[in-house]
């Protein structure tokens, strides 16, 4: 079972899996909402789940924004401000779709596979432009 599939199933159940800042360990908020079969599937790959969260530590604003966009688009985690922006800025939505197409050309064909391994100079430039649009929108809508 893929790590992102399990994490997304947890998020979609209404629970939240995250790194607790107080002790650095993974925490599960609203664990009672997660179906037992998902928890049983997550248990043997806990180290892989932990590694995925660690891989995002220190991510810059660009990568955090694109990750949030993917999670929003997939319905894993909702972000009302991001949703508002992407609905108001059709060009940004188009850029996001083109960014995904670029990754698809590089072999990314499964939303449950970490997209980062399929990035290249072209996709990184697109990601940078998306982030710049997000910043402009956020600054105009404070």
Compute how many other C-beta atoms are within 10 angstroms of the C-beta atom of residue 44: 9
Q: What was the pLDDT predicted at 60?
A: 96
pLDDT band, residue 61 (cuts 50/70/90) = very high
Q: What was the pLDDT predicted at 141?
A: 85
pTM score: 0.90
pLDDT of residue 40 exceeding 90: yes
Tell me whether strands 16-19 and 26-29 are parallel, antiparallel or unpaired: antiparallel
**Spatial separation of the C-alpha atoms in residues 114 and 65, rounded to whole Å:** 15
| pLDDT tens-digit map of 85-118 | 999 999 999 999 999 999 999 999 999 999 999 9
pLDDT of residue 1 exceeding 60: no
**Spatial separation of the C-alpha atoms in residues 15 and 89, rounded to whole Å:** 30
What DSSP line would sit under the chain, residue for residue? --HHHHHHHHHHTT-EEEE-TTTS-EEEETGGGS-HHHHHHHGGGHHHHHHHHHHTTT--HHHHHHHHHHHHHHTSS--HHHHHHHHH-HHHHHHHHHHHHHHHHTT---TTS-GGGG--HHHHHHHHHHHHHHHHHHHHT-
């Amino acid at each position: 079972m893929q790590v992102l599939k399990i994490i997304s199933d947890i998020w979609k159940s209404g629970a939240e899996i995250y790194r607790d800042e107080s002790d650095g360990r993974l925490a599960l908020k609203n664990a009672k909402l997660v179906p037992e079969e998902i928890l049983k599937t997550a248990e043997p790959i806990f180290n892989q789940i932990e590694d995925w969260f660690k891989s995002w530590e220190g991510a810059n604003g660009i990568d955090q924004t694109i990750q949030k966009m993917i999670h929003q688009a997939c319905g894993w985690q909702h972000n009302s401000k991001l949703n508002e922006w992407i609905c108001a800025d059709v060009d940004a939505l188009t850029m996001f779709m083109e960014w995904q197409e670029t990754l698809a050309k590089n072999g990314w064909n499964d939303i449950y596979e970490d997209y980062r391994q399929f990035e290249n100079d072209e996709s990184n430039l697109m990601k940078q432009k998306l982030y710049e649009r997000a910043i402009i929108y956020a600054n105009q809508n404070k």
